[in-house]
Amino acid sequence: MPPPSAAALVKKPKPIVYESSNYFRQRIVLSLLSGRPCRFNNIRSEHANPGVRGHEVKFLRLMEKITDGTKITINDTGTQVTFRPGNIVNGRKLTFNCGTARSIGYYLEHLLYVAPFGKKPLHITFTGITNDDQDPNVDILRTTMLPVLQRFGLDDGLELKILKRGCRGSGRDDSKDDKQSAGGGEIVFQCPIFRQVTPLRALLPGKVKRVRGIVYTALTASHTSNRVVDGARSVLNNFIPNVFLYTEHFGKDKGGKAPGYGVSLIAETTQGYLFSAQATAQPRQQPEELGKQCSRLLLEEIKRSGTTDRQCQCVTFALMALCSQDVSKVCVGELTDYSVQFLRDLKKVFGVTFKLRRDPETNLIYASCVGVGYKNVNRKIT
Protein backbone atom coordinates (compact mmCIF):
# COMPACT_ATOMS: atom_id res chain seq x y z
CA MET A 1 0.00 0.00 0.00
CA PRO A 2 1.59 3.34 -1.04
CA PRO A 3 2.22 5.95 1.68
CA PRO A 4 -0.28 8.80 1.84
CA SER A 5 0.68 12.03 0.13
CA ALA A 6 1.43 15.22 2.07
CA ALA A 7 -1.84 16.73 0.87
CA ALA A 8 -3.76 13.79 2.25
CA LEU A 9 -2.16 14.25 5.66
CA VAL A 10 -3.38 17.85 5.93
CA LYS A 11 -6.63 17.91 7.84
CA LYS A 12 -9.33 20.03 6.29
CA PRO A 13 -11.11 22.20 8.86
CA LYS A 14 -14.64 21.15 9.64
CA PRO A 15 -17.33 23.56 8.44
CA ILE A 16 -19.07 25.82 10.93
CA VAL A 17 -22.70 24.73 10.76
CA TYR A 18 -25.56 27.22 10.80
CA GLU A 19 -29.25 26.46 10.79
CA SER A 20 -31.25 28.48 8.22
CA SER A 21 -29.95 31.30 6.04
CA ASN A 22 -30.30 34.05 8.64
CA TYR A 23 -27.34 36.48 8.61
CA PHE A 24 -26.20 34.80 5.41
CA ARG A 25 -23.89 37.50 4.04
CA GLN A 26 -22.07 38.26 7.28
CA ARG A 27 -21.33 34.59 7.84
CA ILE A 28 -20.04 34.15 4.30
CA VAL A 29 -17.60 37.08 4.61
CA LEU A 30 -16.40 35.85 8.02
CA SER A 31 -15.77 32.45 6.45
CA LEU A 32 -13.80 34.09 3.66
CA LEU A 33 -11.71 36.21 6.02
CA SER A 34 -10.97 33.36 8.44
CA GLY A 35 -10.48 30.63 5.85
CA ARG A 36 -12.92 28.40 7.73
CA PRO A 37 -15.64 26.73 5.63
CA CYS A 38 -19.28 27.01 6.64
CA ARG A 39 -22.50 25.14 5.91
CA PHE A 40 -26.10 26.34 6.03
CA ASN A 41 -28.73 23.68 6.73
CA ASN A 42 -32.53 23.76 6.51
CA ILE A 43 -32.70 26.91 4.40
CA ARG A 44 -36.40 27.84 4.40
CA SER A 45 -37.20 24.13 4.61
CA GLU A 46 -40.65 24.87 6.05
CA HIS A 47 -41.57 27.47 3.42
CA ALA A 48 -43.89 26.88 0.51
CA ASN A 49 -40.96 27.85 -1.72
CA PRO A 50 -37.97 26.25 0.08
CA GLY A 51 -34.31 26.77 -0.58
CA VAL A 52 -31.77 29.50 -1.20
CA ARG A 53 -32.98 32.58 -3.08
CA GLY A 54 -31.63 33.92 -6.34
CA HIS A 55 -30.06 37.00 -4.79
CA GLU A 56 -28.26 34.84 -2.21
CA VAL A 57 -26.81 32.70 -5.00
CA LYS A 58 -25.72 35.89 -6.76
CA PHE A 59 -23.92 37.01 -3.61
CA LEU A 60 -22.07 33.67 -3.53
CA ARG A 61 -21.10 34.16 -7.19
CA LEU A 62 -19.75 37.62 -6.35
CA MET A 63 -17.54 36.13 -3.64
CA GLU A 64 -16.45 33.47 -6.12
CA LYS A 65 -15.59 36.14 -8.70
CA ILE A 66 -13.13 37.99 -6.43
CA THR A 67 -11.49 34.81 -5.08
CA ASP A 68 -9.45 31.91 -6.36
CA GLY A 69 -10.21 28.36 -5.24
CA THR A 70 -13.60 29.00 -3.63
CA LYS A 71 -15.95 26.01 -3.82
CA ILE A 72 -19.71 26.38 -3.45
CA THR A 73 -22.01 23.37 -3.15
CA ILE A 74 -25.81 23.64 -3.23
CA ASN A 75 -27.94 20.51 -2.88
CA ASP A 76 -30.78 19.65 -5.28
CA THR A 77 -33.51 21.27 -3.18
CA GLY A 78 -31.44 24.36 -2.38
CA THR A 79 -31.94 23.86 1.36
CA GLN A 80 -28.24 23.22 2.08
CA VAL A 81 -25.29 25.39 1.03
CA THR A 82 -21.64 24.59 1.72
CA PHE A 83 -19.07 27.36 1.25
CA ARG A 84 -15.35 26.54 1.18
CA PRO A 85 -13.42 29.80 0.88
CA GLY A 86 -10.43 30.36 -1.36
CA ASN A 87 -7.94 33.22 -1.55
CA ILE A 88 -9.10 36.80 -2.10
CA VAL A 89 -7.43 38.00 -5.29
CA ASN A 90 -9.71 40.88 -6.45
CA GLY A 91 -8.63 42.21 -9.85
CA ARG A 92 -9.34 45.00 -12.32
CA LYS A 93 -12.11 45.55 -14.85
CA LEU A 94 -14.46 43.06 -13.21
CA THR A 95 -18.19 43.34 -13.90
CA PHE A 96 -21.17 42.06 -11.95
CA ASN A 97 -24.87 42.15 -12.81
CA CYS A 98 -26.87 42.38 -9.57
CA GLY A 99 -30.23 41.67 -11.19
CA THR A 100 -33.26 43.36 -9.68
CA ALA A 101 -34.37 41.17 -6.77
CA ARG A 102 -32.04 43.22 -4.54
CA SER A 103 -30.23 46.47 -5.13
CA ILE A 104 -26.50 47.00 -5.64
CA GLY A 105 -26.20 47.92 -1.97
CA TYR A 106 -27.08 44.36 -0.91
CA TYR A 107 -23.93 43.07 -2.61
CA LEU A 108 -21.57 46.01 -2.15
CA GLU A 109 -22.27 46.46 1.58
CA HIS A 110 -20.56 43.20 2.52
CA LEU A 111 -17.99 43.34 -0.26
CA LEU A 112 -16.50 46.21 1.76
CA TYR A 113 -15.57 43.70 4.48
CA VAL A 114 -13.33 41.57 2.25
CA ALA A 115 -12.17 43.76 -0.66
CA PRO A 116 -9.38 45.48 1.36
CA PHE A 117 -7.79 42.10 2.13
CA GLY A 118 -7.13 40.95 -1.41
CA LYS A 119 -3.96 40.17 -3.33
CA LYS A 120 -4.49 43.19 -5.57
CA PRO A 121 -6.69 46.30 -5.52
CA LEU A 122 -10.27 45.85 -6.70
CA HIS A 123 -11.91 47.62 -9.64
CA ILE A 124 -15.44 46.39 -10.34
CA THR A 125 -18.49 47.68 -12.20
CA PHE A 126 -21.94 46.87 -10.79
CA THR A 127 -25.19 47.11 -12.75
CA GLY A 128 -28.70 46.97 -11.30
CA ILE A 129 -30.78 49.04 -8.89
CA THR A 130 -28.88 51.87 -7.22
CA ASN A 131 -31.58 53.15 -4.86
CA ASP A 132 -34.36 51.49 -2.90
CA ASP A 133 -35.49 51.35 0.73
CA GLN A 134 -34.65 47.71 1.42
CA ASP A 135 -30.85 48.00 1.25
CA PRO A 136 -28.36 50.84 1.77
CA ASN A 137 -28.31 52.91 -1.40
CA VAL A 138 -25.12 53.81 -3.22
CA ASP A 139 -25.12 57.38 -1.88
CA ILE A 140 -25.14 56.16 1.72
CA LEU A 141 -22.39 53.63 1.00
CA ARG A 142 -20.23 56.31 -0.60
CA THR A 143 -20.68 59.03 2.00
CA THR A 144 -21.00 57.00 5.22
CA MET A 145 -19.46 53.54 4.93
CA LEU A 146 -16.34 54.36 2.90
CA PRO A 147 -15.16 56.88 5.53
CA VAL A 148 -15.33 54.07 8.11
CA LEU A 149 -12.70 52.14 6.14
CA GLN A 150 -10.57 55.26 5.92
CA ARG A 151 -10.64 55.67 9.70
CA PHE A 152 -8.99 52.25 9.99
CA GLY A 153 -6.08 53.29 7.76
CA LEU A 154 -7.13 52.28 4.24
CA ASP A 155 -4.86 54.05 1.76
CA ASP A 156 -5.95 56.54 -0.88
CA GLY A 157 -7.76 55.10 -3.87
CA LEU A 158 -11.05 54.16 -2.23
CA GLU A 159 -13.75 55.45 -4.55
CA LEU A 160 -17.34 54.86 -5.66
CA LYS A 161 -18.62 56.53 -8.84
CA ILE A 162 -22.29 56.61 -9.84
CA LEU A 163 -22.53 56.47 -13.63
CA LYS A 164 -26.27 55.79 -13.98
CA ARG A 165 -29.23 55.77 -11.62
CA GLY A 166 -31.47 52.73 -11.51
CA CYS A 167 -34.78 52.76 -9.63
CA ARG A 168 -36.98 49.81 -8.76
CA GLY A 169 -39.99 49.09 -10.96
CA SER A 170 -43.50 48.50 -9.68
CA GLY A 171 -43.32 44.70 -9.88
CA ARG A 172 -41.37 42.49 -7.50
CA ASP A 173 -40.83 38.73 -7.38
CA ASP A 174 -37.70 37.47 -5.66
CA SER A 175 -38.01 34.05 -7.26
CA LYS A 176 -37.87 35.55 -10.78
CA ASP A 177 -34.99 37.93 -10.35
CA ASP A 178 -34.07 38.87 -13.92
CA LYS A 179 -37.65 39.02 -15.26
CA GLN A 180 -38.50 42.23 -13.44
CA SER A 181 -38.66 45.49 -15.39
CA ALA A 182 -36.44 47.82 -13.36
CA GLY A 183 -32.85 48.69 -12.65
CA GLY A 184 -30.49 50.00 -15.31
CA GLY A 185 -28.15 51.68 -12.82
CA GLU A 186 -24.38 51.45 -13.02
CA ILE A 187 -21.59 52.23 -10.56
CA VAL A 188 -17.83 51.72 -10.43
CA PHE A 189 -16.17 50.72 -7.16
CA GLN A 190 -12.43 50.91 -6.57
CA CYS A 191 -10.78 49.64 -3.40
CA PRO A 192 -7.09 49.51 -2.43
CA ILE A 193 -5.74 46.88 -0.04
CA PHE A 194 -4.86 47.14 3.63
CA ARG A 195 -1.24 47.05 4.68
CA GLN A 196 -2.46 46.83 8.24
CA VAL A 197 -5.66 47.67 10.09
CA THR A 198 -4.95 50.44 12.59
CA PRO A 199 -6.83 50.50 15.91
CA LEU A 200 -9.74 52.90 16.29
CA ARG A 201 -10.64 55.07 19.25
CA ALA A 202 -13.88 56.93 18.70
CA LEU A 203 -15.53 57.84 21.99
CA LEU A 204 -16.69 61.47 21.69
CA PRO A 205 -19.59 61.90 19.25
CA GLY A 206 -19.61 65.69 19.27
CA LYS A 207 -22.53 67.83 18.16
CA VAL A 208 -24.04 67.98 14.69
CA LYS A 209 -22.58 70.95 12.83
CA ARG A 210 -24.07 70.53 9.36
CA VAL A 211 -26.41 68.46 7.21
CA ARG A 212 -25.83 67.66 3.56
CA GLY A 213 -27.93 65.66 1.17
CA ILE A 214 -28.54 64.48 -2.38
CA VAL A 215 -31.95 64.55 -4.02
CA TYR A 216 -32.06 62.62 -7.30
CA THR A 217 -34.72 62.37 -9.98
CA ALA A 218 -34.62 59.76 -12.74
CA LEU A 219 -36.92 59.89 -15.78
CA THR A 220 -39.24 62.28 -13.90
CA ALA A 221 -39.73 66.05 -13.86
CA SER A 222 -36.57 67.75 -12.60
CA HIS A 223 -38.50 70.29 -10.49
CA THR A 224 -39.69 67.42 -8.27
CA SER A 225 -36.33 67.55 -6.49
CA ASN A 226 -36.95 71.16 -5.41
CA ARG A 227 -40.16 70.10 -3.69
CA VAL A 228 -38.28 67.34 -1.84
CA VAL A 229 -35.70 69.90 -0.71
CA ASP A 230 -38.45 72.20 0.61
CA GLY A 231 -39.98 69.35 2.61
CA ALA A 232 -36.64 68.34 4.12
CA ARG A 233 -35.72 71.91 5.03
CA SER A 234 -39.06 72.50 6.73
CA VAL A 235 -38.01 69.93 9.35
CA LEU A 236 -34.23 70.29 9.55
CA ASN A 237 -34.08 74.09 9.74
CA ASN A 238 -35.91 73.91 13.07
CA PHE A 239 -32.73 72.38 14.54
CA ILE A 240 -29.77 73.65 12.51
CA PRO A 241 -29.36 76.38 9.87
CA ASN A 242 -26.39 74.78 8.08
CA VAL A 243 -28.41 72.58 5.70
CA PHE A 244 -27.61 72.17 2.01
CA LEU A 245 -29.11 69.63 -0.38
CA TYR A 246 -27.76 68.98 -3.87
CA THR A 247 -30.11 68.05 -6.69
CA GLU A 248 -29.28 65.66 -9.51
CA HIS A 249 -31.44 64.93 -12.55
CA PHE A 250 -30.89 61.86 -14.72
CA GLY A 251 -32.53 61.76 -18.12
CA LYS A 252 -32.87 58.99 -20.70
CA ASP A 253 -29.16 58.27 -21.03
CA LYS A 254 -28.40 57.91 -17.32
CA GLY A 255 -31.81 57.46 -15.70
CA GLY A 256 -32.08 53.68 -15.84
CA LYS A 257 -35.17 51.70 -16.84
CA ALA A 258 -37.78 52.92 -14.33
CA PRO A 259 -38.82 56.43 -13.22
CA GLY A 260 -38.33 57.44 -9.61
CA TYR A 261 -36.79 59.87 -7.17
CA GLY A 262 -35.41 59.85 -3.66
CA VAL A 263 -33.24 61.56 -1.09
CA SER A 264 -30.20 60.73 1.04
CA LEU A 265 -29.21 62.87 4.03
CA ILE A 266 -25.89 62.99 5.89
CA ALA A 267 -25.29 64.72 9.24
CA GLU A 268 -21.70 65.48 10.28
CA THR A 269 -20.61 66.19 13.85
CA THR A 270 -17.89 68.48 15.16
CA GLN A 271 -15.71 65.36 15.62
CA GLY A 272 -16.18 64.29 11.99
CA TYR A 273 -18.59 61.39 12.56
CA LEU A 274 -21.39 60.78 10.08
CA PHE A 275 -25.03 59.71 10.39
CA SER A 276 -27.30 58.96 7.45
CA ALA A 277 -30.87 58.40 6.35
CA GLN A 278 -32.45 57.53 3.01
CA ALA A 279 -35.93 57.48 1.51
CA THR A 280 -37.30 56.49 -1.88
CA ALA A 281 -40.57 57.77 -3.30
CA GLN A 282 -43.54 55.42 -3.00
CA PRO A 283 -46.60 55.46 -5.30
CA ARG A 284 -48.81 58.54 -4.76
CA GLN A 285 -46.43 59.99 -2.18
CA GLN A 286 -45.97 63.75 -2.39
CA PRO A 287 -42.36 64.98 -2.80
CA GLU A 288 -42.66 67.27 0.22
CA GLU A 289 -43.72 64.33 2.39
CA LEU A 290 -40.73 62.32 1.18
CA GLY A 291 -38.38 65.09 2.28
CA LYS A 292 -40.04 65.32 5.69
CA GLN A 293 -39.96 61.53 6.10
CA CYS A 294 -36.22 61.32 5.41
CA SER A 295 -35.49 64.26 7.73
CA ARG A 296 -37.32 62.57 10.60
CA LEU A 297 -35.39 59.36 9.94
CA LEU A 298 -32.14 61.32 10.13
CA LEU A 299 -33.13 62.92 13.44
CA GLU A 300 -33.98 59.48 14.81
CA GLU A 301 -30.60 58.17 13.64
CA ILE A 302 -28.77 61.04 15.36
CA LYS A 303 -30.69 60.33 18.55
CA ARG A 304 -29.82 56.61 18.53
CA SER A 305 -26.19 56.77 17.35
CA GLY A 306 -22.89 57.40 19.10
CA THR A 307 -19.81 57.76 16.91
CA THR A 308 -20.99 55.40 14.19
CA ASP A 309 -24.10 55.14 12.08
CA ARG A 310 -26.25 52.09 12.83
CA GLN A 311 -25.76 50.81 9.27
CA CYS A 312 -21.98 50.93 9.86
CA GLN A 313 -21.93 49.10 13.19
CA CYS A 314 -21.04 45.68 11.79
CA VAL A 315 -18.23 46.80 9.48
CA THR A 316 -16.81 48.83 12.39
CA PHE A 317 -16.91 45.81 14.71
CA ALA A 318 -15.33 43.60 12.03
CA LEU A 319 -12.36 45.92 11.50
CA MET A 320 -11.93 46.40 15.26
CA ALA A 321 -11.63 42.62 15.60
CA LEU A 322 -9.14 42.36 12.71
CA CYS A 323 -6.87 45.26 13.67
CA SER A 324 -3.41 44.94 15.21
CA GLN A 325 -3.17 43.48 18.70
CA ASP A 326 -4.18 46.67 20.45
CA VAL A 327 -7.37 47.94 22.05
CA SER A 328 -9.99 49.59 19.85
CA LYS A 329 -12.86 51.52 21.37
CA VAL A 330 -16.04 52.89 19.86
CA CYS A 331 -19.20 54.50 21.15
CA VAL A 332 -22.53 53.35 19.71
CA GLY A 333 -26.13 54.05 20.49
CA GLU A 334 -28.72 51.32 20.17
CA LEU A 335 -27.29 48.00 18.98
CA THR A 336 -29.27 46.49 16.12
CA ASP A 337 -30.29 42.82 16.19
CA TYR A 338 -27.96 42.30 13.25
CA SER A 339 -25.04 43.79 15.21
CA VAL A 340 -25.73 41.62 18.27
CA GLN A 341 -25.61 38.46 16.17
CA PHE A 342 -22.52 39.72 14.36
CA LEU A 343 -20.68 40.07 17.68
CA ARG A 344 -21.61 36.48 18.51
CA ASP A 345 -20.37 35.28 15.12
CA LEU A 346 -17.10 37.19 15.54
CA LYS A 347 -16.53 35.36 18.82
CA LYS A 348 -17.32 31.99 17.22
CA VAL A 349 -15.09 32.51 14.17
CA PHE A 350 -12.19 34.64 15.45
CA GLY A 351 -12.48 34.19 19.22
CA VAL A 352 -12.80 37.95 19.75
CA THR A 353 -14.89 39.04 22.73
CA PHE A 354 -16.19 42.59 22.92
CA LYS A 355 -16.61 44.37 26.23
CA LEU A 356 -19.82 46.42 26.31
CA ARG A 357 -20.54 49.09 28.90
CA ARG A 358 -23.61 51.34 28.96
CA ASP A 359 -23.30 54.89 30.26
CA PRO A 360 -26.35 55.48 32.51
CA GLU A 361 -26.30 59.24 31.87
CA THR A 362 -26.10 59.31 28.07
CA ASN A 363 -27.47 55.77 27.49
CA LEU A 364 -24.63 55.23 25.00
CA ILE A 365 -22.82 51.89 24.74
CA TYR A 366 -19.01 51.82 24.83
CA ALA A 367 -17.63 48.79 22.98
CA SER A 368 -13.99 47.72 23.13
CA CYS A 369 -11.92 44.72 22.06
CA VAL A 370 -8.35 43.60 21.42
CA GLY A 371 -7.70 42.88 17.75
CA VAL A 372 -6.41 39.54 16.53
CA GLY A 373 -3.60 41.13 14.49
CA TYR A 374 -5.06 39.91 11.20
CA LYS A 375 -2.49 39.75 8.40
CA ASN A 376 -3.39 40.18 4.76
CA VAL A 377 -1.67 37.02 3.58
CA ASN A 378 -3.17 37.48 0.11
CA ARG A 379 -1.35 40.79 -0.48
CA LYS A 380 1.22 40.70 -3.24
CA ILE A 381 4.68 41.53 -1.88
CA THR A 382 6.38 44.30 -3.86
Here the CATH number for the domain that contains residue 40 is 3.65.10.20
Mean pLDDT by 10 residues, the chain (382 residues): 45 84 95 95 91 95 95 94 94 91 95 94 95 93 95 89 89 46 87 90 94 94 94 96 94 87 96 95 93 96 91 95 93 92 96 95 93 81 54
Spatial CA neighbour of 167 closest among 149, 181, 187, 156? 181
Neighbours of 163 (CB within 10 A): 13
DSSP readout, 222-244? TTHHHHHHHHHHHHHTTT-S-EE
Burial of 137 (0-12, 13-18, 19+ CB in 10 A): buried
Q: Which of 304, 326, 344 represents a domain boundary (last residue)?
A: 304
In this predicted structure, what is the pLDDT of residue 169? 78
Domain around 296? 206-304
Query: How far is CA 191 from each of CA 2, 130, 311, 380, rounded to the nearest angstrom?
Result: 48, 19, 20, 15
In this predicted structure, what is the pLDDT of residue 155? 77
* Cβ partners under 8 Å of residue 285, min gap 6: none
Spatial CA neighbour of 169 closest among 158, 180, 177? 180
In this predicted structure, what is the pLDDT of residue 381? 58
Q: How far is CA 297 from the centre of its chain?
A: 19
Q: Which of 191, 218, 237 represents a domain boundary (last residue)?
A: 191
In this predicted structure, what is the pLDDT of residue 195? 79
Do 124 and 231 lie in a common domain?
no
Tell me, yes or no, whether 6 lies in a domain. no
Tell me, yes or no, whether 136 lies in a domain. yes
In this predicted structure, what is the pLDDT of residue 304? 87
In this predicted structure, what is the pLDDT of residue 156? 81
| Domains of the chain: total | 3
**Residue 144 per-residue DSSP state:** I
Per-residue pLDDT tens for 36-77?
Answer: 999 999 999 888 899 999 999 999 999 999 999 999 999 999
In this predicted structure, what is the pLDDT of residue 6? 41
Do 44 and 184 lie in a common domain?
yes
Tell me, yes or no, whether 111 lies in a domain. yes
For residue 254, give the CATH number of its domain.
Answer: 3.30.360.20
Per-residue pLDDT tens for 368-377?
Answer: 999 999 988 7
